Structure 1
Amino acid sequence: MDEETPADKPHAQIDIKSPPPPPPPFSFSVDNVNPEKNTEVEGKFPFFKSRYRQRASDTWLISFFVILHLLAFITTMLFNYFSLGTALFQPLSENPLLGPSASTLDKVGALRRTFLAQTNQTWRLFVCPWLHAGLIHFSINIGCMVFVGIHLERDYGPLRIGIIYLVSAFFGSLVCSLFVGNSPVVTSSAALFGLLGAMLSGLIRNWKVYTSKCAALLVLFIVFAVNFLLGLLPYIGNFANIGAFIPGLLLGFVLLFTPQIRQMSKNKMGLFEYSVKRSSNLKQKLKFGMPVLRGVSLLLFTILLVGCLIAVFRGIDINQYCEWCRFVDCLPSKRWSCNDRTNACENALSSAF
């Protein structure tokens, strides 16, 4: 019997093992951190465009504010239609924002110098922050407010964001009343600028742990610039926007000191992210924040609030001391007028109702 040559022997089979599956993605959670250990755990905490677990309880406050703004805008437009008996929107030459007439804004609660100085209608300071000058103003303002506020509420909770929102809105009305002239002005964008100021304070406060700082500042600048340029059109109080941004910034240093990190979903990142290093020292820093900065911010906010209240009750008109300030509230153009353009026909129709 012939012996098998090496060439005749069958080749040995080589088992090719598939590579092991990759480890599951790491999800950061405060509960998984042992503060007794000195090891640092890295994670990502999203800011804008965050991938949170979608829950209705995360954004109920901003949703409630949006509903109030929507009801106020619908009421204003219906009041404009039934009181004047004309089209739902006024001509672009009268209102370039696709909105109501000047007389309608006066009746629903807009700010005007004569209402504050002569008749002392201070209730307008509380109603004006919910009014919009037109459909364009409403769409841009609400869109930016949802974009900014919904993430702030998820990160810091509805209580702190609600305080910043309402206080900034009222503060904006106070500042606007110091610059308002003879045309009606609404201040619904003031709350948005207060949220922008609070968001900027959060970025400054956590500057060392943020990533993509340039992207964060760019987004804030774009939202600020778009709404500020929109405020150069008639019936929008740009001084209310500026006046609300400063208290929003100060209140952000006071209130936004502990983000709710444990709500982050697994392996998800957003536009605004920062590396969260969890050690016992950093955890204590996030908990107690910077007492000096918080104290100084609270003191400055109190001084500004008291000063604005005194100036409003005394009926101070800053336009008498600043000739160019009126161009910040409304930039003149051939396509619209910055003065009150209520004509005689409109007055007759308004008085009839």
Structure 2
Amino acid sequence: MEPAQRRKIIHIDMDAFFASVEQRDNPELRGKPVAVGGSSQRGVVAAASYEARAFGVRSAMPSVTARRKCPELIFVKPRFDVYRAVSDEMRAIFAEYTPIIEPLSLDEAYLDVSETLNGALSATEIAQQIRAKIRERTNLTASAGVSYNKFLAKLASDHRKPDGLFVITPKMGPAFVEPLPVRKFHGVGPATAAKMKRLGIETGFDLKAQSLAFMQQQFGKAGPYYYGVARGVDERPVRAHRIRKSVGAENTFFADLFTFEAAREAMEPIVDKVWRHCETAGAHGRTLTLKVKYADFQQITRSRTGMTPFATRAELERQSLDLLAPLFPCDKGVRLLGVSLSSLDFAQESETLQLSLGL
């Protein structure tokens, strides 16, 4: 394979995708704060328009919190069939330039354009053309990042959002990473960012100062990845036809749960998120796994497999609660609950596209 520094990678990310589609299709929503998702007491924001983000509304935020931050917020029910249709249009555009396309979600993908179908074009020119065609064919905007690896291409696409294009060259890469907060690094979630902060690692510069042995000791298999990206190095290839084996979601709670009633309520947004993954991907699973972590960090799982995939959200919730109920009453408290589906059946397509809630 070609050396990583010689690869040409583009990361395309649609701007506030679900909300932008709703504003495109309903002129009355344009220029107003819009949240795609449920407005009920237990609803969750799947996507927020930039007008809503100005008030602090974010995806994965409880709808109650979002409405408190923005009283004028307009909730719109998601239309996954429409989002999938637009996503198909986008991927048709990508395929005009390269067959090496790795979708991350309906609105986001990596493209390897090291060897393109339009050999005379640079990666930057391709990114410009793709953005122009997306605007022309869908009346939506996309941001693009261009670099020599996936990690930097994603950072680049975030750098000029919305409706922007940014290029990180091999000379720029290592220095570009140094001042950035590690919490903005792809692959560093809230729990990892908190652990890094406890270790005195808050920026790329702090991360770069650590030895490979230290990173492996503290972060296991992920250690070499963090060690590399702090230096602008990421050897991961763009994987076309990526098949996801499972979809899942979990929450860690600020206060431990001791009753089944409290746990049942806490399961609502988790089941919601898993079901949105399924609806977005056009994939449903037969094997349900419940994950429980107690206050003393003991972790257990409970699973069951059906003859056919789960067909409705209500069925998924009922079966999840059936697995959960025998674990109560509980003396030592539950600090984390998770639900995942595996043995996936792809009714729509061969690639799993999971709903991106960290927009």
Shorter-chain TM range is under 0.3
TM-score, structure 2 as length reference: 0.21
Higher Cα Rg: structure 1 or 2? Answer: 1
- Structure ranking higher in helix proportion: 1
Q: TM-score, normalised by structure 1?
A: 0.21
Of Structure 1 and Structure 2, which has the larger fraction of its residues in strand? 2
